Amino acid sequence: MKKHLTIDLNSLPEEGKTFSGELDTSIFDDAARSSADEPRASEPLFYDLYIQRFDQELLIRGSISVLMEFTCVRCLSKYLKTIQIEECALSHEITNSQLNLADELREELVILFPDYPHCDQGDTEQECILDSHYLAVDKPTEVDVKTPPHDEAPNPWAALDSFDDAANKHS
């Protein structure tokens, strides 16, 4: 499967041309991802584009979509959501005779990712079930669920407090 959508401007007809196909899911891989819970593409990026040249500018119109797997921020369940743009319109400045548009298409879809993904917003309706025993607020006291201890960060003022205590003893 392709990882690039390379447009050769030397062979692009003056009236433009239609490009359809799919790009590999690896274009969504990011070396800076912090965990496996980050969104990941479940299917390739699909595109159906009409590309035309105007002087030193490339006009890209059409539709793009990808099926992504997200993790719900409430209940931590995985769900699928299609991110799509039906009427995509991009303009690209021509700098050389071959252009790779894969990154631009990916970025157009990434912008539409939900900031706080919820499983009830996926492609298939899914009830977001959160076990109330694990809520920090209003946790029933009769439930034997322990709240994890907070890691105490070192207090940068502790050394100064000891000076204050020593000064008070000598006064």
- Concatenate the DSSP letters of all residues of 90-127 into one string: EEEE--SSEEE-HHHHHHHHHTTS-SS--GGGSSS---
Calpha distance 33→38 (Å, rounded): 7
In this prediction the pTM is: 0.71
Query: Has residue 143 got a pLDDT over 70?
Result: no
Residue-level pLDDT at 31: 41
Calpha distance 168→91 (Å, rounded): 71
Calpha distance 111→76 (Å, rounded): 22
36 vs 76, more confident: 76
Contact 5, 100 (CB under 8 A): yes
Residue 32: band (very low, low, confident or very high) from pLDDT cuts 50, 70, 90: very low
Residue-level pLDDT at 19: 95
CA 28 to mean position of chain CA atoms: 9
Residue 55: band (very low, low, confident or very high) from pLDDT cuts 50, 70, 90: confident
Calpha distance 106→71 (Å, rounded): 20
Q: What is the mean pLDDT of residues 117-130?
A: 88
Calpha distance 45→63 (Å, rounded): 11
Query: Has residue 26 got a pLDDT over 70?
Result: yes
Contact 69, 91 (CB under 8 A): no
DSSP 147: P
Residue-level pLDDT at 2: 84
Residue 136: band (very low, low, confident or very high) from pLDDT cuts 50, 70, 90: low
Contacts of 36 (CB under 8 A, 6+ apart): none
